[in-house]
Structure 1
């Protein structure tokens, strides 16, 4: 029997936004084509602290090495391999949170917090965002933010918001601090060390900028929450505020039992141990993955989950994260293509040549704009610092800017576009956990990005005018 198709369903299919995988695949095709158009070249590099850094004025042209059809498909596999630590972390987090979700401890704890604050959602949202921004400011939460996205989703469900709000509470909160990186050893510390500046110098200026960025973020987030609280149809996600797997997950309990308290205390103890390890032992993503295995096993033991049930829950949770995990590898493939073709150094050298003759403020803003764009390709802070800062620091000397200004331009450029760049495994995994298409996220976050960029431009101009120095 032929079933007639609904004309409106055809229109819906035509209007459907492209999946994030489709967008990244298109970007990978574009990146591959550019390797045939941009000349190959490379700086000489020296290895300091096991990080290869470019040698200024050492750029040399190389024989062209454009991406072939075989290279195109190999880059996807290479991207998955290069991103293995993030991919496995996402899968393990999915499994661990499935165990935690089964116990209902986090949900019950959040409901208890909501009841204690008497439903003051704005106070709770602001508090959570500020706490995460402080963690980002001191460099404790750049990659670890993925682990807390499920908690933001639970908060959003409790307040009947949407997945965008849930992700934003955590992700934008953390990156409002990370973008400035006042005490972040990987971004600011490494960049200043390369530039020959005292590590964490200019902290007073960075802190002032951080307060402006944080205030803008909190106001923006609260306005969106207010809008969808009054009218759910105003949600950017439309009629489906949460994906089906989240909507169908365990209900949020109201009873906060003694067992819940023990599980949350155990979870807090483990996360405190991780933060301590980050600062004292240099822990990273691999240690976080191991820690979440410990969290899942310990939680199962406390809640008396039998081994077979533990395996079923863990696998179900990991399966739910497969979309988020694999998208990280596809994002990395874009960088693999550009690196293998030796075009990134050509881009950096060309911009340095262009900025040389410009007036001070214009040159500083040019550095800033370049770093904003370059971060769309190289989202790794240390990777960007190793390529850009050794070139920009002596360039700043030559055109009469302080090296502090050059590092600020790198910081702001590296930080701000982290909330939109599709080559960031952290971003793509975070929004995928919430079931948010990249295009929908962009629609939500672009106005805030423009505000951040304006704050950065004003701050950088002031830094040039006051001749911001090392201290």
Structure 2
């Protein structure tokens, strides 16, 4: 029996880490520089954008990359992605400093207390708060820490843990799907696509409202069934027997200091949007700005300067894994560019899509992004990997770059809610004690609704020639 167990362990399949997957793609890219013909397009500057000139592709001398080139590409990828990496790390530091003051938890608990007895209002308010957090990049991977708060809420309402994950993790990624001022997703994609930061804001806000409204309806529809009869729960009524959670946490005091910090942070994020539009801030400006905001939060929260450093570094450390994925993904493009096969890939794709209308080409890009996100679940990593390819492709297919960015956002965002390769999802389910299959059963219909909204949004975007603004 023992021998069989060892044998089963030896042959058990485990999903490779994202870095392992990216390194595998890097090796494939390196091999491709020997097998794929090298070539390049002519490029021109137009309205401040570097654009590929359709019909100018020509073959050039092939130059395959060696072992040292592969290793150097990782270093170069990190350096070239430095602005993005430090932006992610600084945001992580800022959010940890804010969380250390207890302001976010106290605000959520206050919302619970104020809406007690009106379950719909409470579910709607919490869902909107976390959706906004996802849309502005304030909450993403860090939502894992808030699932425990979701469990307290669901317990107080006599609802199952599915609701706990739905109003925290699910709501966060409902907002992340659109991410109208999310520096991790829209910010990075806009930089690569050479679009003004956070442009197309109004249209994305409208889509955000639609998606979040549908998400609230879907969550409440399920909650009502469970409230009516606990046996309607996907997890069965056993959750009612769990008395381990301490509802005394619901009475966390929401002080004037908490209010002041959250008001300041809200105004700070609003000014960030103004700064990117009015002063044309780059990602470097935003990193510096977030550092300044973190320092001021520390001052308002009366955090000792040594403790401030501890909190800021802890927050940066939490996002280090995700931040460096950006550089690892960029290394793949470094290899393809060095081997001069990136334009060949774009040329092949453009030929594949030849004859497709802009709408059908957009759908093809959306499907491609959705598939890629399964193996590259990092939003920022996928942006660095795919945007340099679909940006010139969109130019040649008559699709605006803003629409191309949205195909990436939808392709990445929606899958985060159901794919088992998403570490954030699996960690959230583990905290709530929900089997993946049960979550998939609950989430998949909503995922399909989101996909329909995405298709309609993209068709409208192509029809109105959705541009930079």
2:350 corresponds to: 352
Give, in whole Å, the separation in 1 of the partners of 2:85 and 2:194: 30
Partner of 1:35, secondary structure, is: helix
The offset of 1:55, in angstroms, is: 0.9
Deviations 1:55-84 (Å, cap 9, x if unpaired)?
121111122233322221111112211221
Instruction: State the distance in 1 between where 2:258 and 2:205 align.
Output: 38
Aligned partner of 1:337 in structure 2 is: 335
Question: 1:101 deviation in Å?
Answer: 2.3
Stretch of structure 1 that moved more, 311-320 or 49-58: 311-320
Q: What is the aligned partner in structure 1 of residue 394 from structure 2?
A: 389
Q: CA deviation at 1:279?
A: 2.2
Aligned in 2, Cα 1:446/1:342: closer, same or farther, shift over 3 Å?
A: farther
CA gap 1:364/1:269 in 2 versus in 1, 3 angstroms: closer
Q: Find 1:314's aligned residue among 306, 312, 322.
A: 312
**CA-atom RMSD in angstroms:** 5.0
Distance (Å, rounded) in 1 between the aligned partners of 2:449 and 2:345: 27
What TM-score, normalized to structure 1?
A: 0.67
Q: What's 1:270 paired with?
A: 268
Shift of 1:104: 0.9
Contact 1:44 1:55 in 2 (8 A): yes
Superposed CA deviations along residues 152-174 of structure 1, whole A, max 9, x for unmatched, are 44543311267786444233314
- Correspondence 1:57-456 to 2 at 5 A: 57-118=55-116, 120-128=121-129, 131=132, 141=136, 145=137, 147-149=138-140, 152-153=143-144, 155-160=146-151, 166-176=168-178, 254-357=252-355, 364-370=359-365, 372-373=367-368, 376=372, 379=383, 383=388, 386-393=391-398, 410=404, 413-419=407-413, 452-454=450-452
In 2, Cα distance between equivalents of 1:51 and 1:463: 20
Distance 2:234 2:27 in 1: 35
Displacement after TM superposition at 1:293 (Å) = 1.6
SS of the residue aligned with 2:383? coil
Q: CA deviation at 1:417?
A: 1.6
Rounded Cα–Cα distance in structure 2 between residues aligned with 1:468 and 1:49 = 20
Which stretch shows the higher mean deviation, 50-59 or 296-305?
Answer: 296-305
**What 5-or-longer segments of structure 2 have no aligned partner?**
152-160, 236-248, 373-380, 430-435
Aligned positions, number: 407
User: Which deviations, in whole Å up to 9, do the C-alpha atoms of 1:95-129 show, x marking residues without a partner?
Assistant: 22332222211211121122223265531244336
Query: Displacement of 1:300 after TM fit?
Result: 2.0
TM-score (ref. length: structure 2): 0.67
The alignment status of 1:31 with 2:33, answered yes or no, reads no
Give a deviation string over 1:10-69, Cα, whole Å, max 9, x none: 849945432222222222223323333322221100123443111121111122233322
Deviations 1:285-341 (A, max 9, x none): 323322222222212222322222222332233223322222222122223222332
Distance of aligned partners of 1:24 and 1:187 in 2 relative to their CA distance in 1, 3 Å threshold: closer
For residues 408-453 of structure 1, what are the alpha-carbon distances to aligned partners after superposition, in whole Å with 9 as ceiling and x for unaligned? 974653332232799xxxx9xx96699679xx89x96887666555
State the partner residue of 2:377.
none
* Alignment-derived partner of residue 44 in structure 1: 42
Tell me if the contact between 2:366 and 2:410 (Cα under 8 Å) persists in the aligned partners.
no
Kept in 2, the 8 Å contact 1:36–1:66? The answer is yes
